[in-house]
């Protein structure tokens, strides 16, 4: 297998003997290509936030006539990884970590498959078939567990104000959060622009990916460099039931002492 072949990913429409390229309209093929690309873009961006979505693409380089095999070359290795990840999640019937946008795109591809009797869509990487998308494949997202609690977000204030007051906080991870605040709290920020602060408030996370869904600011506190052991004790006090069976919490959180 050549170098180009190794980079290829395939989406193969197959099933009944009559499933050939000519069995699909231009609209069908366009729907598959656009939605496959969009689903991979959504996954790759979710896994690699630093990448520019505009450049996360796949290029159709061949239509094979054994059934209807569509061969693509991804623009980045992360797109190839997204293809394998997405196919594996479908195979394991585990879509919890797949972005909703990617699942919506898969549903559009599934509509094309449903309209062709006995048709399936195979995800193939190199020469390995990972899984098949069929008319019976369940593409439902399980609702994530929700955790609510009071906590403090630490970071640097990047911007304050607006007709409807907001504060933009840059976390230590580099992520920017735009948070609604009351006029009273906005005034309390005073000259704290570009300084490290703590924002006390009520947070909602999704579990187990620990993604912050919302945060309501209650007050501003001074930045404190809290020892990690103290921070973990505070965290256990709020959501300890989720960590009861974990002895090495530092290890679970990938924290370097």
What is the C-alpha to C-alpha distance for residues 84 and 73, in angstroms, rounded to an integer?
14
pLDDT for the residue numbered 15: 83
What is the C-alpha to C-alpha distance for residues 17 and 212, in angstroms, rounded to an integer?
49
What is the C-alpha to C-alpha distance for residues 144 and 1, in angstroms, rounded to an integer?
42
Helices 26-47 and 100-114 pack at an angle, to 10 degrees, of 160
Q: Which pLDDT tens digits describe the chain residue by residue (257 residues)? A: 334 344 789 999 988 777 888 888 899 999 999 999 999 999 999 899 888 989 999 999 998 876 778 999 999 999 999 999 999 999 999 898 898 899 999 999 999 999 888 899 999 998 889 999 999 999 987 666 778 888 889 899 999 888 888 999 998 888 888 998 888 888 888 788 898 998 989 888 876 667 788 889 998 886 655 555 655 565 555 555 555 555 554 555 544 44
pTM of the predicted structure, to 2 decimals: 0.58
Q: What angle do CA 13, 31, 83 make, to 5 degrees?
A: 65
Among 129, 35, 29, which residue's Cα sits nearest to residue 88? 129
What is the C-alpha to C-alpha distance for residues 100 and 95, in angstroms, rounded to an integer?
9
What is the C-alpha to C-alpha distance for residues 228 and 81, in angstroms, rounded to an integer?
34
What is the C-alpha to C-alpha distance for residues 110 and 135, in angstroms, rounded to an integer?
6
What is the C-alpha to C-alpha distance for residues 108 and 34, in angstroms, rounded to an integer?
10
pLDDT for the residue numbered 122: 93
Report the largest interatomic distance among the alpha carbons of the chain, rounded to a whole angstrom: 72
pLDDT for the residue numbered 221: 80
pLDDT for the residue numbered 209: 64
């Amino acid at each position: 297998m050549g170098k180009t072949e190794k980079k290829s990913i395939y989406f193969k429409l197959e099933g009944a003997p009559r499933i050939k390229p000519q069995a699909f309209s231009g609209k069908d093929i366009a729907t598959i290509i656009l939605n496959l690309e969009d689903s991979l873009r959504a996954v790759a961006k979710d896994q690699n936030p630093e990448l520019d979505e505009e450049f996360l693409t796949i290029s159709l380089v061949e239509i094979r006539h054994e059934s209807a095999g569509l061969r693509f070359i991804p623009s980045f290795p992360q797109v190839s990884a997204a293809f394998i990840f997405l196919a594996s999640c479908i195979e394991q019937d585990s879509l919890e970590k797949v972005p909703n946008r990617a699942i919506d795109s898969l549903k559009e591809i599934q509509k094309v498959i449903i309209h062709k009797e006995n048709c399936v869509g195979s995800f193939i990487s190199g020469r390995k078939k990972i899984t098949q998308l069929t008319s019976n494949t369940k593409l439902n997202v399980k609702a994530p567990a929700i955790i609510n609690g009071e906590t403090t977000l630490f970071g640097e204030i990047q911007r304050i104000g607006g007709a409807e007051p907001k504060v933009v906080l840059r976390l230590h991870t580099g992520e920017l959060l735009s948070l609604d605040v009351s006029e009273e709290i906005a005034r309390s920020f005073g000259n704290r622009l570009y300084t490290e602060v703590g924002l006390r408030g009520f947070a909602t996370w999704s579990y187990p990916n620990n993604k912050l869904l919302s945060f309501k600011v209650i007050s501003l506190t001074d930045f404190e460099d809290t020892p990690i052991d103290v921070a973990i004790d505070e965290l256990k006090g709020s959501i300890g039931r989720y960590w009861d069976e974990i002895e090495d919490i530092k290890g679970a959180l990938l924290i370097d002492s």
